[in-house]
Amino acid sequence: MPWFNWLKRLMDRWKNWAGDHEMEIAIRRHLSNRGYRGAAAELKSVKLIAIQRPGWIQIYRFEAVATPQPADAEPAGSSQSELSSVLLYGLVRDDGRTHSEVEVFVHPARRIELFQQWSKGMITLRGAFTRS
């Protein structure tokens, strides 16, 4: 059933699609600034979870599978397989009028704390962190 595998891949791509090129670039830039390989990071479960009327300010959650960048002191011929990928939990506060603010955490509880601060007075998705 090759069509079933194709459909499954398409559904996975749709689920993990950011939908906003500028936001995706902001996330990847933030990961790079934090010492990860932002361009090669796999973004997952990008989802709108809060919005402030009239819609300019929005909060998105995401997960990223990223690999730390090698230290500058590492020899050029060293093996890259030593660096293992890390699952990061992130939030994006996107203000359509100005810019996006991105934060990533190793522990999901920190993301929930920041979400509670950022989303005060906003319309939020019920169960924003319980579903994919």
pLDDT tens-digit series, residues 68-97: 988 765 555 555 556 799 999 999 999 888
pLDDT value of residue 22: 87
Distance CA 8, CA 85 (A): 24
Structural domain count of the chain: 1
* Per-residue confidence band for 17, with pLDDT thresholds at 50, 70 and 90: low
Residue 58 lies in a domain: yes
Q: What is the share, in percent, of the chain residues with pLDDT greater than 70? A: 79
Residue 105 lies in a domain: yes
Residue 132 lies in a domain: no
Residue type, 63: E
The contacts of residue 1 (CB under 8 Å, 6+ apart) are none
Q: Which domain holds residue 91?
A: 7-70+81-124
Distance CA 43, CA 78 (A): 27
**DSSP string covering 14-43, please?**
HHT----HHHHHHHHHHHHHTTB-GGG-EE
123-124 vs 57-66, strand pairing mode: unpaired
Residue 2 lies in a domain: no
Residue 1 lies in a domain: no
* Per-residue confidence band for 55, with pLDDT thresholds at 50, 70 and 90: confident
Residue 93 lies in a domain: yes
Residue 36 lies in a domain: yes
Question: pTM here?
Answer: 0.78
Residue 130 lies in a domain: no
> What count of residues does the chain have?
132
